[in-house]
Amino acid sequence: MRTEKEKMLAGDLYIAHDPELRKDFEKAKELVREFNHTTEHQPEERQRIIKNLFKKSGKGVYLEPPFYTDYGCNTVVGDNFYANYECIILDIANVTIGDNVLFGPRVGIYTAGHPIDAVIRNEAFEYGKPVTIGDNVWVGANVAINPGVKIGNNVVIGSGAIVTKDIPDDVIAVGNPCRVLRKINDEDKKYWEAEKQRYYEN
- Catalytically active residues are 114
**Which one, of 91, 80, 161, lies nearest residue 132 by Cα?**
91
Q: Give the distance from CA 181 to its chain's centroid.
A: 22
CA distance 132 to 202: 40
CB atoms within 10 A of CB 42: 13
SS3 state at 83: strand
CA triple 60-33-7, angle to 5 deg: 85
Task: Judge whether 53 and 32 are in contact, CB under 8 Å.
Answer: yes
Single-letter amino acid, residue 128: G
CA triple 177-132-44, angle to 5 deg: 120
CA distance 106 to 66: 10
CA distances for 11 relative to 35, 54, 61, 123, angstroms: 29, 20, 28, 17
